[in-house]
Chains A and B, each alone.
Chain A
Amino acid sequence: RKEVEQDPGPFNVPEGATVAFNCTYSNSASQSFFWYRQDCRKEPKLLMSVYSSGNEDGRFTAQLNRASQYISLLIRDSKLSDSATYLCVVNPGTNDYKLSFGAGTTVTVRA
């Protein structure tokens, strides 16, 4: 079983729609969770860390469910510029410096 699994999508949504997707992780001892955004042929950029109580940054909301071992990302009022691949990244707790990456969820927002 992979350490981090994501629905690859693609999620094709119209502008203004809400889109949400999950990421599951296998190690219950995982400590830190992140969502990164990666545009085509660009580097990954940290979108947001995910905290136990859930957190929001503008139109983006991240949730953590430790009991079911998944994190989620919700994007409200989607913009064309939100089109990207969203990488779920987890610190599995085995080594502070080693993060596990999901394969990414592709989101395409259409006009």
Chain B
Amino acid sequence: DTEVTQTPKHLVMGMTNKKSLKCEQHMGHRAMYWYKQKAKKPPELMFVYSYEKLSINESVPSRFSPECPNSSLLNLHLHALQPEDSALYLCASSTRTGENYGYTFGSGTRLTVV
């Protein structure tokens, strides 16, 4: 079982809809991430939150809006998406302990924009 929980697992939305993706972790990790992954491609970083503050925005279009309500939760609000935004959206978390640390990924939300 993954320790990073993402909901929903699947989402189909129209281009005029507003929806939100949710991510939760209870590992005490203070960094949380949103990644987008297209088929047969590596994950692409979208946002990083460090200690509940937005640390990195990889020039993501404003139709994607992240939110970190507390240290355990991360949301991604979606509005007016395009079909090319269809992808697997992965949440991850990490903690910095020593020089080696890795991410723990959630199982992802498979998003289809119609």
Contacts and interface: CB of A to CB of B under 8 A. Distances in A.
* Residue from B42, B105, B106 whose CB has the most chain A CB atoms within 10 Å: B42
A87 B103 CA distance: 13
Nearest to B45: A98
Nearest to A87: B42
Interface in B75-114: 88, 90, 94, 96, 99-108, 110
Contacts of B14: none
A76 B16 CA distance: 51
A16 B27 CA distance: 37
B43 A101 contact: yes
B100 A96 contact: no
Given A34-B102, A98-B56, A99-B103, A43 B2 contact: yes
Nearest to A103: B42
B70 interface: no
Contacts of B105: 43-45
A46 B102 contact: yes
A49 B42 contact: no
A44 to B, nearest CB: 5
Question: For chain A, what secondary structure do more than half of its interface residues adopt (helix, strand, loop), or is it mixed?
Answer: loop
B50 interface: yes
B75 to A, nearest CB: 18
A98, A99, A103 — most chain B CB neighbours (10 Å): A99
A104 B90 contact: no
Contact of A96 (B45, B90, B96): B96
A43 B50 contact: no
Contact of A44 (B31, B41, B43, B99): B43
A43 to B, nearest CB: 4
Interface of B: 2, 31, 33, 41-43, 45, 48, 50, 55-56, 88, 90, 94, 96, 99-108, 110
9 contacts: A31-B99, A32-B101, A42-B107, A51-B100, A95-B56, A96-B96, A101-B43, A102-B42, A104-B42
